[in-house]
Structures are given as C-alpha cells and as structure tokens.
C-alpha cells in the first residue's frame, strides 16, 4: 500500500506474519448480518464467499454496514478481534481513494487504496489499542485485491453490547473505486475433498489426490495430518489453509481414514474415494471480442491487433514444449483481422505463416452478431470474409466461434453448411439472461440439423461458458474449480474423455496468458489425469469427431435467442439496419440485371460490413445504463449508431446511382418500376413531391391510363400492376391532374374497400372491428382487454399497462388508389402517437403506420402494439431466416420461449382462416401475453420452458429492459409499419411472398435509357414455389451467383432458364462460389432448402 492514514495516534505498516496479537483478545466472526448497502455477487479469496456488500466512492451519503457475531457474555479479556473477508480496487483504480471505518458510529480508521499496490499485508494502529489488519489473499483477474481483514478493538468500545456495528464509507469523489465486505461468516471448518487428480510416483504407482481444507480464523496454530503414507506437519494461518494427501489410486470405490490434529486436539475422518478416469481438457485460448463495451471501439481494435502479435511470440517461445503445450491463439471473429491486414500489409506473411503453422486459429464469423437480427442473406455475409481469407492464405476455414450471446437462429446452420463450416464452438455468457441455454446444452455436443434436413453442423456449448476464467487463472490460482468441474461431469454421467474449455482471461477484450504453455507442460509431465491440451478450435472438433462421430446425437429446431431484445432500446437505428439489409439484397439483384460493366463490389462490401457491425452484440459501454450521459458511454453509442447510418447512406447512394436523370431542372416525362423478385408482383409506388413531373397523370407502356392519386402532402401514388419476375415496366407522365378525395362525416373512424371493412375505437384509436367486406365476422378478439393495433405502455415486466386516449383524426385520404385515416392520441411515454390505417383499392392488404414521438425516460418501460385475433384453435407460425417455426414444436430445448424474433412475418390460423402480420421495423413478438420480461417478476422466477400457439399477439416495439450494454433511454420520432392480410387456409408460399413484397418493395428508377440496359435473366417455372433470393456477379468474374430457396413445407421443383443465353451452364455451388458439379436445367429442393448456383452464360 502506498499510503495509509489514521485519525488518532501513530500508525505503521508491517507484515501480518510475525504479528503477535494481544494474548487477552478473543477472535469473533466479523460478518453476521447485513444492515445496509448494495449486494453484489462477486468472487473473492475464498471459494465459498461469493456475495459482497459493495461501497463505491461515488458520494458522501453512501455506506455499507453490518453486524458482527456476538462476544461470549462470559468473556473477561481486554480486547476483541473481528475477522472478515474484504476486497478493494487497485488494479482497476486510477487514483488514491480514502475509506472510513466506523464502529458503533465512532470513526476509528481511514485507509487509503491506491492504483497498482504491492501484494503485501498491512496494519494500522491507534493510540487506544485498536488495530486494523489486512492479510493479502488473492489477486483477481483484473489485479484487484482480496484478503482477510481483522479489527482488534478494546472490549470497552462495544459500549455494553456483545457485538459491533461496522460501517464503511467511501470518499464521495464520484469515482467507481470500491471496497467490499464479503457476506460470509468466518467460522472454523474442515473440508476433506477427494479429487479426481492422479499422479505417478517414481515406482510407477498411481496416486490420487485428497484435498484437506481448514478454515482458521484466529492466531496461528500447529496442525498435523496423517493418512496412509502421508504425514504432514504445518501451521494454520489466518484464512483457508489447503493441504494435499496422495492416496493409492483405487480401481473401485474405497474408504480411507484421515487424522487431523490442531493445537494438540485430534479428530478422525473417513472419506470415500472414487476412481478417476482419464480425461483431457481442451483449452481454447482466445479473447472475447466486444466491439466496445470495455473501451472505445477504436481502442478495442488495437488491443486485438496487439493480442495477435503477443500470441505469435508466445507460440515461438513454446515451440519446443510439444504439441499439447504449444501456445495457440484462437481468433474468435475476423473483424480485427481484416483491419489488421488492411493497416499493416507488410505483416501479412508474418500473420499467414502463424496461421499455417497452427499457432493462430482462424474462425469464420466476422463478428459476434445477434443472429436472429440478421436478414437471411446477412447470415451468408457474416462468413463471407472468411471465404476471401482462406483463398488468400491457402487454407480451409471449417469452424466458427461465438461468445457471450445465448441462442442462435436456425438459419445459421444453412449459412454455415453452405460455406463449408462444419463446427460451431459456443461459449455463452454463464448466467446473464441466458434462460435455460447452458442447463440444457452445456457439455452436450450435438449435430444441429438444418431446417431442410439436408445439412448439419457439429455444435458444442462449453459447459462453463466463455468467461469461466474471468475471475481466476489456471496458471496462478487455486486449482479447485477444475476438480469441482470434474465432479460435476461425473455427476451428470459425461460420456466423453475430452472437455471443451474456453480459456479467456482478463475479462472481455482480454489478452493471452504468457504462462499457459509452461503450466501445461509441467502439469502434463507430472499428472496422469486430468491432462490439458492447448488447441485450436477446429483441432478440438476434429479430434472429437474422429473419436465419437458414431454416437453424437442429432437434433433439429430453432435455438431461439435471448439477447436480441436489446435492439429494441434503439428502435430507430435497429429498424434502419433491418431495412438496409433488405435493400442491399434488392440492389445486388437490380445492378446485376442492369448489366452494368462496373458492378460496385467495393461499395456493396462496405455497406454489408456496416450492417454486420450494427448487428454485432455490443451496443455500447458496460455502464451504459448506470451512467448514460458520461462521455465514455455517449462516445461508444455515437460510433455504434454510425454503423447503421453508414450502411444506410451507402445503400441509398447505390439506389440513387441507378437513376441517371438530373431531376433538379428537368421535369420527368417517364420512369420505370423494377421488380427484384422472381415472381410477378403488384405494389404501391410513391413518387415524392420533391420529384418534378411533367404532368399529373400516368399511362403504362401500352398507353392505358393508370389510376393515380395526389396525397395531401403532395406525393403521387399509384398501383404498379403485374410487374414481371426480375422485370421492369415503363410509365409515362402526361398532362392532367388528380384529386385526393375526402371522407364524409358519416365515415369518421371507419374505413372500407372491396376487400375489408374496419371500425376504429374513437378514444384509443385501436381497431375494434376487422372483417372481410360483406361478412360480419370480426377478426378482432374484443374479449382479451386490448383491441387490434392498440398502443400499450408499461413499466418493467409489463407492470402498470396504459393505453392511448383522446383520439383525434388529423388527416385522411380518399381516392382511386387508397383510403386512409390518420389518428393522433396522447399516451404515456410519448409526446404523442399517430396511427395511420391505409386500405388499397387494388391490393388485398392493410397497412398500418404507428408513429411515436418518444419522450426520454430512464425508468424501465416498454411499448407494445396488441394484435388480438379472433381465431379458434390457432396454430402460430414465425418467419425466420431460411425457415418457419411453430412455437414449441420447432424449437430446441433451452430456447427462448418468452418472446420471438421474427424475420418478416408471423401468422395465426386454423384449418379455415387466418391472419398474416408483416412487421417491418419491430421484430419482437410475444404469444399469449406480454411475457418477454416475465422472468423478472421475482428473484426465483425462471425463463419459460414451454410455450404454445396463440392468437393473442403483442408486437414489442421499444424497451430499455437491460442493465448493461444497451441504451438506457430513447427519444424522438419512430415509425413502425405493419401489414395485415386475411386469408383462407394457411399457405407457406403466399406468406413468404407477402413478407417479401412488404419488406422488399418495388422500386422506381428515373432514367432515360434503362430499357436498353436492363435484361431479365434467370427464370423459374411460373407454377413453381421455389424463389430466387439473390443474383449477383461471382467474385472471380466468371459468371453469376444465384441463391434459390424453397420457402414451403413441401418439396418443390423447377426448370432453370437463363433468358440472356439459352446455352448457359448451371453449376451447383456454395458460399465459396466453387463449381461443385454441373447440373441440368432442373432442380428439386426439400422444404426450406437453399441452393447456391453458379451460372456461366
């Protein structure tokens, strides 16, 4: 310690050892009962002490206080010594901080903590005979201190009480520096623990270890331990004292006797020793990549660059230690690799050689994304850079890693398998909002089958998650976590002889352990079991599969994720990113069909990069909730937000560049509508009022007058009908005008057209009746407490729900294209809310635009829109990337069942009728109730293990549910668009098309010569239910890449026709764009199967 301070008398620093306490003192447990202060679950120097009282140096009013055990009423001594476990920041400290200790409200000591203190004991004394001692016990993973604190005071200071009230305050300097008292009673205790650790003596005899742990909380005492050939004599010091006996290793369970003598008093123990099997821990050294969280994103990037170079040096130094001890570094995701190679091209050979030598393990994902937020094509782009890298290095990348994030969308299996990724190492967060993830799947490797059933990957969740070593290190700390883990594995009948262990030290964005190789070498040289092997991720999987491929189970279903809801804390930017990913997919198709000579690959790659960076799981700083306004937090969010903005900007520029006409001075007399889908489509086109047109009326390319409508904001809308697959249609502008029409007073709060009739509640602006025109059946379930599209504001866990009120019509449209009504209301959590409902004269769907002007609020809140559907015996379906699931029926055990993250639509239907709801900006959906946060309702409440279909839908649009990482509040204008369609019996193909047609709309292009440049390309049978989701140029320039998908529950076939050249050749390909084999002009795909084709015209 660099400085100490005392209020009364002199003080000095001494070593605890050699300190002779007053013979007239008695030792008493220093923590018995909490009085006041913040609880924090945290590690310490004692394995059983894991709950603390925490005080920080934030303000002068904060303190922690507790009661000690009682002193015997018969005690006649002069002083009392209280002992407890304490910790304080030094490794994470930035400056000196003062803590004040009070006994029974009397200030006795002030002690000062400093950055980077020495690991030694210290003592403070006072003139009244009081002493405060700290005995160093353990340095934690971030170099903060834990140990044993003793307070010796004159007995008379208890003021007639037989216990003490101890209070500690920080210095109130607005600092996060801290002190902890562990809420753990220090009582004498002896533990005898047989360990499944086996060594071999010089004669070749196998010896199994037995650990004897003695908690001692008084002055030093002698100890002797005798058993079999073991005879140990030592001294018990303050704290936990560990001793190891070597017992002849049994082949069957046996009992052994152990005699322990403390200060002349002997006690005998009998313990049962079970045989230890040989097992190997595969250590996967890596740093978890949070792009931010612990530091600014740019700083984190440099930390990982530094890790690469440190790791390579450690590998060089350990090269002679053998393969098991050779240091290897697994690069969790490729974000920092890409920027490292771009910034330091001169180091490419150095880095590539390390990869080829097996020192650096490369895994396929670009970032630790929240997979259910990703659009289908985005999952392919997630591993796209790994395809480039493996070609550049000359290797195959066959494994992927993800850390922290619990749960993964089913479509990732398809994307991985198509890109040659066979293995998926998962290290979830060990406890935070993970539901039943580890409980169901920890240490249970399995083949995860794709939605189509044609592909599978081997997935393995590390049983201890990714952060097991954040609180300790294998190379310097107590070994007991390993032996306890061995017992756990035996208790659950773990069937394998190798264990997947993530070795991740230094917290998030940590660093390599320079001591690991020497530890592994020395341990393996002296132990029979367990063994340790430092491994690359793919190396572990290949060893495992080689041994156990025949017995690894196979499972199929969605591993519905848990953390995606955090994106609801930034609803505006999250919606922007979702829409950008859809637009980029469309633009790649459109640019390919425009037959442009200079396809803007660089711009597309850059835009996809930013889309992925926004989908990456790190939204902000670790203290984004507790300190939302400090610079450290706001700077990280500005960078995170910029990813969505940059992706959107690049996509918009690509869209604008398709139009060649300068519309600033010239009024347009024609334009084109483009269809990026592989089926004929119709849709609404909106021409902004800012676009100058030469007239107000439209005709199509056949000279037919097209119904158009001028909206009150000046925009012109019309229905573009029957646009061919991947086709265009030209429209001409002619002189004439349009009339927006009006709604008569009798039609207030009602809308109808040839498809639908609906009525709106005049107070809440919710839909109280929805039916087919001419049918009185109401599809709104009016009996569950909420109406259709009803705004709901709640607190935490759906507490105190309130709805909108005071509805007023603020706008309406009524013309040949559409009818709409826009209603403004007042609602909690908002300045206002407007809800626009639109019916289209020529389209069978309803559009809803809910626009919220959100107020800033740091208290926990959520905003939802209810969609209660009046359908009996419903089946619910959720659209996901490359699949569709039914809640419960198509989910893996351990999946999130409190809420779902949809891709484009959800559906509720029975055998006769149903409703499909497409949700563009708000992907989170609850079935049956507002259940997303139900696990928060009480400390013992668990995440739901089961769910079921329901016709009661809740769109969870906005929240600030989290306690870290995500945004604490959001404000401003956010719009959420929903599209509804009523249908007869559910049809997968129709639902898929409905989702795409609303999330990937028709596009208008202003250009003089598009007709000569645009050419239709790949065509499917008009009766086929296969769809083409992507067409783009191949990376090598030798042809085009197409992605074909079967979105239905039945096998489907189609001919392939390349309209530009009837002699075009088709090759089965993959994400790597390899030419696997040539195929004839017909393909057949299983349900939810995806096929990548390479087309060579």
Q: Report pLDDT digits (tens) over 679-704.
A: 999 999 999 999 999 999 999 999 99
Q: What is the pLDDT of residues 425-477, one digit of tens each?
A: 999 999 999 999 999 999 999 999 999 999 999 999 999 999 999 988 999 88
Residue 757 has pLDDT above 60, yes or no: yes
CATH classification at residue 757: 2.70.98.30
Q: Do 211 and 125 lie in a common domain? A: no
- Judged against a pLDDT cut of 70, whether residue 174 lies above it is answered with yes
CA–CA dist 673, 689 (Å, integer): 17
1085 membership: H or E segment, kind and range: strand 1082-1085
pLDDT on residue 658 = 86
**Across residues 556-581, what is the average pLDDT?**
98
Give tens-digit pLDDT for 48-104: 999 999 999 999 899 999 999 999 888 888 999 999 999 999 999 989 999 999 999
1096 near 1067, Cβ under 8 Å? Answer: yes
* 562, part of any domain: no
Asked, for residue 161, whether it belongs to a domain, the answer is: yes
Q: What is the pLDDT of residues 97-134, one digit of tens each?
A: 999 999 999 999 999 999 999 999 999 999 888 999 99
Domain count, the chain: 7
Residue 23: the pLDDT is 42
Q: List Cα–Cα distances, 693 to 10, 106, 689, 816, in angstroms.
A: 90, 84, 9, 20
Confidence of residue 896 (pLDDT cuts 50, 70, 90): very high
* DSSP letter, residue 202: T
79-88 vs 25-29, strand pairing mode? parallel
Same domain, 130 and 239: no
The CATH number given to whatever domain includes residue 1068 is 2.60.40.2220
- In the chain, what percentage of residues exceed pLDDT 70? 96
Residue 211 domain-assigned (yes or no): yes
Q: Is residue 840 part of a domain?
A: yes
Query: In the prediction, which pLDDT does 737 show?
Result: 76
Residue 103 is assigned to a structural domain of this protein = yes
Q: Are residues 81 and 197 in the same domain?
A: no
Could you report the per-residue pLDDT of 1029-1040, keeping only the tens digit for each?
999 999 999 999
Provide the pLDDT for residue 883.
98
Same domain, 205 and 319: no
Let me know whether 8 and 76 are in one domain.
yes
Task: With a cut of 70, say whether residue 574 has pLDDT above it.
Answer: yes
Residue 665 domain-assigned? no
727 and 762: one domain? no
Average pLDDT score over residue span 177-181? 97
Q: Which of 298-307, 335-344, 928-937 has the lowest mean pLDDT?
A: 928-937
User: What is the pTM for the complete model shown?
Assistant: 0.92
Question: Domain boundary residue among 273, 292, 311?
Answer: 273
Do 681 and 675 meet the contact criterion of CB atoms below 8 Å apart? Answer: yes
Are the C-beta atoms of 383 and 421 separated by less than 8 Å?
A: yes
**1059 pLDDT band (50/70/90 cuts)?**
confident
Higher pLDDT, 454 or 595: 454
> What b/e sequence results for 766-795 when a residue is b if at least 16 CB atoms lie within 10 Å of its CB, and e otherwise?
bbbbbbeeeeeebbbbeeeebbbbbbbbbb
The pLDDT-based confidence of 919 (bands split at 50, 70, 90) is: very high
Beta-strand ranges (E) seen in 89-163 are 97-103, 106-113, 122-125, 131-139, 145-154
Does residue 855 have a pLDDT over 90? yes
Q: Give the domain extent around 817.
A: 745-999
* Domain end position, chosen among 556, 580, 596: 556
Question: Which residue did the predictor score with more confidence, 245 or 1060?
Answer: 245
Q: Supply the pLDDT for residue 662.
A: 63
CATH at residue 144: 2.60.120.260
CATH number at residue 193: 2.60.40
CA distance 547 to 961: 44
* 787, pLDDT greater than 60: yes
pLDDT digits (tens, 9 = 90+) for 564-573: 999 999 999 9
pLDDT at 941: 84
Is residue 1008, in this structure, part of any structural domain at all? no
d(CA 317, CA 321): 9
Per residue, the 3-state secondary structure of 260-271, as one string, reads EEECCEEEEEEE
CB-based contact 64:38 (threshold 8 Å): yes
187, HSE (Cβ side, Cα atoms, 13 Å): 9
Does the pLDDT of residue 19 top 70, yes or no?
no
Q: What is the pLDDT of residue 597?
A: 72
Same domain, 204 and 166: no
Looking at the fold, whether 378 and 516 belong to one and the same domain comes out as yes
pLDDT for 1008? 75
* Domain co-membership, 705 together with 801: no
Strand order in the sheet with 952-959: 802-803, 790-794, 862-868, 952-959, 924-927, 900-901
Indicate whether 106 and 134 sit together in one domain.
yes
Residue 243: pLDDT band (50, 70, 90) is: very high
In a domain, 452, yes or no: yes
Same domain, yes or no: 857 and 929: yes
Lowest average pLDDT, out of 215-224, 671-680, 742-751, 927-936, goes to: 742-751
Asked which of 657, 684, 707 is the last residue of a domain, the reply is: 657
* pLDDT value of residue 16: 31
Please tell me the predicted confidence (pLDDT) of residue 1011: 61
How sure is the predictor about 18, in pLDDT bands with cuts at 50, 70 and 90? Answer: very low
- Looking at residue 801, its pLDDT comes to 97
Q: Which of 727, 703, 704, 434 is nearest to 559 (CA)?
A: 434
CATH at residue 519? 3.20.110.10
Q: Note whether 781 and 681 are same-domain residues.
A: no
pLDDT tens, position by position, 738-755 = 665 554 444 679 999 999
């Amino acid at each position: 310690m660099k400085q100490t301070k005392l209020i009364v008398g002199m003080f000095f620093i001494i070593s605890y050892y050699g300190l002779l306490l007053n013979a007239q003192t008695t030792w008493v447990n220093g923590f018995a009962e909490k009085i006041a202060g913040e609880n924090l679950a945290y590690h310490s120097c004692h394995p059983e002490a894991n709950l603390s009282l925490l005080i920080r140096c934030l303000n002068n009013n904060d303190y922690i206080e507790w009661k000690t055990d009682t002193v015997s009423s018969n005690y006649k001594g002069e002083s009392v010594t209280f002992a407890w476990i304490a910790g304080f920041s030094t490794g994470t400290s930035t400056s000196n901080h003062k803590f004040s200790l009070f006994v029974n409200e009397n200030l006795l000591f002030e002690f000062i903590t400093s950055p980077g203190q020495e690991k030694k004991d210290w003592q403070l004394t006072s003139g009244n005979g009081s002493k405060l001692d700290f005995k160093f016990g353990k340095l934690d993973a971030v170099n903060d201190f834990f140990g044993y604190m003793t307070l010796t005071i004159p007995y008379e200071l208890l003021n007639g009480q037989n216990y003490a009230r101890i209070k500690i305050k920080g210095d109130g300097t607005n600092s996060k520096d801290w002190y902890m008292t562990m809420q753990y009673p220090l009582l004498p205790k002896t533990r005898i623990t047989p360990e499944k650790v086996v060594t071999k003596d010089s004669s070749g005899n196998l010896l199994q270890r037995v650990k004897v742990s003695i908690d001692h909380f008084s002055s030093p005492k002698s100890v002797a331990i005798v058993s079999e050939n073991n005879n140990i004599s030592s001294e018990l010091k303050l704290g936990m004292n560990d001793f190891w006996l070597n017992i002849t290793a049994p082949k069957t369970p046996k009992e052994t006797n152990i005699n322990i003598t403390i200060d002349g008093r002997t006690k005998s123990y009998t313990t049962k020793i079970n045989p230890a099997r040989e097992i190997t821990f595969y250590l996967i050294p890596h740093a978890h990549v949070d792009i931010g969280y612990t530091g600014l994103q740019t700083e984190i990037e440099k930390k990982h660059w530094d890790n690469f170079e440190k790791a390579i040096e450690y590998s060089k130094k350990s090269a002679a230690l053998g393969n098991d001890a050779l240091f290897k570094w697994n690069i969790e995701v490729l974000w920092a690799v890409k920027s490292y190679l771009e910034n330091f091209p001169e180091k490419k050979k150095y880095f590539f050689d390390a990869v080829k030598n097996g020192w650096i393990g490369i895994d396929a994902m670009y970032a630790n994304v929240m997979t259910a937020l990703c659009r289908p094509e985005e999952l392919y782009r997630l591993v796209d850079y790994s395809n480039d890298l493996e070609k550049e290095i000359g290797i195959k990348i066959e494994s992927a890693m993800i850390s922290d994030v619990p749960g993964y969308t089913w479509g990732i299996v398809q994307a991985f398998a198509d890109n040659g990724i066979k293995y998926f190492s998962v290290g979830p967060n060990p406890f935070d909002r993970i539901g039943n993830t580890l409980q169901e799947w920890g240490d249970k490797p399995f083949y995860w089958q794709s939605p189509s059933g044609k592909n599978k990957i081997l997935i393995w969740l590390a049983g201890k998650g990714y952060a097991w070593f954040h609180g300790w290190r294998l190379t310097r700390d107590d070994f007991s976590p390993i032996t306890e883990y061995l017992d756990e594995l035996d208790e659950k009948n773990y069937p394998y002889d190798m264990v997947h262990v993530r070795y991740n030290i230094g917290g998030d964005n940590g660093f390599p352990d320079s001591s690991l190789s020497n530890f592994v070498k020395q341990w393996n040289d002296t132990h029979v079991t367990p063994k340790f092997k430092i491994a690359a991720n793919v190396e572990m999987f290949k060893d495992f599969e080689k041994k156990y491929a025949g017995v690894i189970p196979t499972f199929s279903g969605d591993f519905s994720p848990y953390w995606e809801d955090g994106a609801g804390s930034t609803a505006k930017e999250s919606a922007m990113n979702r829409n950008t990913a859809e637009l980029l997919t469309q633009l790649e198709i459109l640019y390919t069909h425009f037959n442009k000579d200079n396809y803007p690959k660089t711009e597309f790659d850059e835009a996809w990069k930013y889309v992925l960076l926004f989908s990456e799981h790190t939204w902000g700083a670790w203290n984004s909730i507790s300190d939302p306004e400090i610079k450290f937090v706001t700077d990280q969010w500005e960078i995170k937000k910029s990813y969505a903005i940059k992706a959107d900007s690049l996509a918009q520029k690509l869209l604008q560049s398709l139009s060649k006409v300068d519309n600033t001075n010239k009024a347009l007399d024609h334009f084109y509508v483009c269809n990026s889908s592989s089926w004929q489509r119709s849709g609404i086109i909106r021409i902004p009022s800012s676009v100058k047109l030469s007239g107000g009326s439209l005709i199509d390319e056949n000279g037919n007058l097209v119904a158009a409508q001028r909206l009150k904001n000046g925009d012109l809308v019309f229905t573009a009908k029957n646009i061919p697959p991947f086709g265009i249609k030209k429209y001409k502008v002619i002189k004439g005008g349009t009339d927006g029409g009006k709604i008569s007073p009798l039609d207030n709060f009602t809308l109808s057209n040839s498809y639908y009739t609906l009525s709106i509640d005049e107070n809440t602006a919710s839909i109280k009746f929805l039916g087919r025109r001419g049918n009185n059946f109401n599809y709104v379930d009016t009996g569950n407490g909420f109406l259709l599209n009803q705004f709901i504001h709640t607190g935490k866990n759906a507490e105190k729900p309130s709805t909108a009120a005071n509805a007023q019509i603020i706008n309406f449209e009524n013309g040949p294209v559409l009818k709409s009504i826009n209603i403004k209301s007042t609602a909690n959590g908002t300045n206002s809310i407007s809800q626009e409902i639109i019916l289209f004269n020529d389209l069978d769907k309803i559009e809803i635009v809910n626009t919220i002007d959100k107020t800033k609020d740091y208290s926990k809140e959520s905003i939802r829109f209810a969609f209660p559907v009046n359908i009996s015996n419903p089946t619910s379906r959720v659209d996901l990337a490359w699949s569709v699931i039914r809640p419960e029926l198509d989910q893996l055990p351990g999946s999130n069942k409190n809420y779902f993250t949809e891709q484009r639509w959800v559906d509720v239907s029975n055998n006769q009728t149903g409703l499909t709801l497409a949700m563009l900006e708000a992907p989170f959906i609850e079935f049956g109730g507002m259940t997303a946060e139900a696990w928060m309702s009480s400390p013992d409440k668990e995440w739901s293990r089961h769910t079921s279909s329901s016709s009661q839908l809740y769109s969870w649009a906005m929240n600030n549910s989290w306690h870290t990482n995500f945004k604490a509040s959001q404000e401003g204008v956010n719009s959420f668009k929903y599209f509804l369609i009523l249908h007869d019996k559910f049809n997968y193909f129709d639902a898929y098309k409905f989702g795409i047609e609303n999330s990937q709309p028709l596009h208008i292009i202003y250009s003089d010569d598009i007709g000569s440049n645009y050419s239709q390309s790949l065509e499917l049978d008009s009766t086929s239910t296969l769809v083409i989701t992507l067409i783009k140029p191949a990376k090598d320039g030798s042809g085009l890449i197409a992605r074909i998908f079967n979105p239905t529950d039945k096998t489907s076939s189609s001919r392939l026709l390349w309209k530009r050249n009837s002699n075009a050749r088709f090759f089965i390909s993959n994400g790597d764009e390899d030419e696997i084999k040539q195929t004839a002009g017909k393909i057949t795909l299983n349900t939810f199967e995806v096929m990548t084709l390479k087309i060579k015209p």
